[in-house]
Structure 1
Amino acid sequence: MASPILVQTRDELLEALRALHAKGERLALVPTMGFLHEGHLSLIREGKKRADKVAVTIFVNPTQFGPNEDLDRYPRDLAGDLAKCGEAGAWLVYAPQSPREVYPEGFQTWVQVTELEMGLCGGKRPGHFKGVATVVAKLLGLFRPQLALFGQKDYQQLAVIRRMARDLDLGAWTEIVGMPTVRETDGLAMSSRNAYLSPEERQRALSLKAGLDAAAARYEAGERQAAALLAAARAEVERGADRIDYVELVDADSLRPVERVDGPVCLLVAAFVGKTRLIDNRVLGS
Structure 2
Amino acid sequence: MQVFKKKNALKDCLSEFKANNYHVGFVPTMGALHEGHLSLISHSKKNNDITVVSIFVNPTQFDNTEDLEKYPKTLEEDLALLEKANCDIVFIPDAKEMYSDNIVSGTYSFDGLENQMEGKYRSGHFDGVATIVHAFFDLIKPTNAYFGEKDFQQLQIVKKLAEKKNLPLNVIGCPIFREKDGLAMSSRNVRLNPEQRAAAPFIYKLLKKVVLQAKKNTIEEISRQVEKEFETNELLNLEYFAIAEEDSLASPKEIDLSKKNRAFIAVHAGNIRLIDNISLS
TM-score, reference length from structure 2: 0.94
**Are residues 216 and 59 of structure 1, via their aligned partners in 2, closer, same or farther at CA, if it must alter by over 3 Å?**
same
* Counterpart position of 2:144: 147
**Are residues 62 and 107 of structure 1, via their aligned partners in 2, closer, same or farther at CA, if it must alter by over 3 Å?**
closer
Return the letter of the residue paired with 1:81.
Answer: D
Instruction: Give 5+ residue unaligned stretches, structure 2.
Output: none
Deviations 1:79-107 (A, max 9, x none): 111111111121000000x2011101357
* Counterpart position of 1:283: 279
* Counterpart position of 2:172: 177
| Partner SS, residue 262 of structure 2 | strand
* Counterpart position of 1:259: 253
| Partner SS, residue 196 of structure 2 | helix
Shift of 1:239: 5.0
Shift of 1:189: 0.1
Residue pair 1:269, 1:279 contacting (<8 A) in 2 also: yes
Q: Distance in 2 between matches of 1:236 and 1:46?
A: 37
Residue pair 1:29, 1:56 contacting (<8 A) in 2 also: yes
1:30 aligns with 2:22: no
Equivalent of 1:271 in 254, 267, 270: 267
Shift of 1:111: 4.3
Shift of 1:108: 6.8
Return the letter of the residue paired with 2:172.
Answer: V
Q: Mean Cα displacement is larger for which, 232-241 or 268-277?
A: 232-241
Q: Distance in 1 between matches of 2:232 and 2:280?
A: 23
* Counterpart position of 2:227: 234
Deviations 1:136-166 (A, max 9, x none): 1111111111100000000111111111111
* Counterpart position of 2:76: 79
Residue pair 1:210, 1:236 contacting (<8 A) in 2 also: no
Q: Mean Cα displacement is larger for which, 124-133 or 105-114?
A: 105-114
* Counterpart position of 1:244: 238
* Counterpart position of 1:101: 97
Equivalent of 1:223 in 216, 220, 239: 216
**Are residues 239 and 43 of structure 1, via their aligned partners in 2, closer, same or farther at CA, if it must alter by over 3 Å?**
farther
Q: Distance in 1 between matches of 2:107 and 2:143?
A: 21
The root-mean-square deviation of aligned C-alpha atoms, in Å, is: 1.6
1:209 aligns with 2:192: no
* Counterpart position of 2:194: 199
Deviations 1:141-194 (A, max 9, x none): 111111000000001111111111111101xx2100000000001100000000
Shift of 1:236: 3.7
| Partner SS, residue 117 of structure 1 | helix
| Partner SS, residue 60 of structure 1 | coil
**Are residues 182 and 43 of structure 1, via their aligned partners in 2, closer, same or farther at CA, if it must alter by over 3 Å?**
same
Report sequence identity in percent: 36
Q: Distance in 1 between matches of 2:181 and 2:188?
A: 17
Deviations 1:5-28 (A, max 9, x none): 110011111111111112221110
**Are residues 109 and 201 of structure 1, via their aligned partners in 2, closer, same or farther at CA, if it must alter by over 3 Å?**
closer
Equivalent of 2:106 in 91, 105, 110: 110
**Are residues 165 and 239 of structure 1, via their aligned partners in 2, closer, same or farther at CA, if it must alter by over 3 Å?**
farther
1:43 aligns with 2:63: no
* Counterpart position of 2:85: 88
Residue pair 1:113, 1:163 contacting (<8 A) in 2 also: no
Q: Distance in 2 between matches of 1:77 and 1:210?
A: 30
**Are residues 108 and 73 of structure 1, via their aligned partners in 2, closer, same or farther at CA, if it must alter by over 3 Å?**
closer
Instruction: Give 5+ residue unaligned stretches, structure 1.
Output: none
Return the letter of the residue paired with 1:61.
Answer: N
Residue pair 1:211, 1:232 contacting (<8 A) in 2 also: no
**Are residues 191 and 107 of structure 1, via their aligned partners in 2, closer, same or farther at CA, if it must alter by over 3 Å?**
closer
| Partner SS, residue 132 of structure 1 | helix
Residue pair 2:31, 2:56 contacting (<8 A) in 1 also: yes
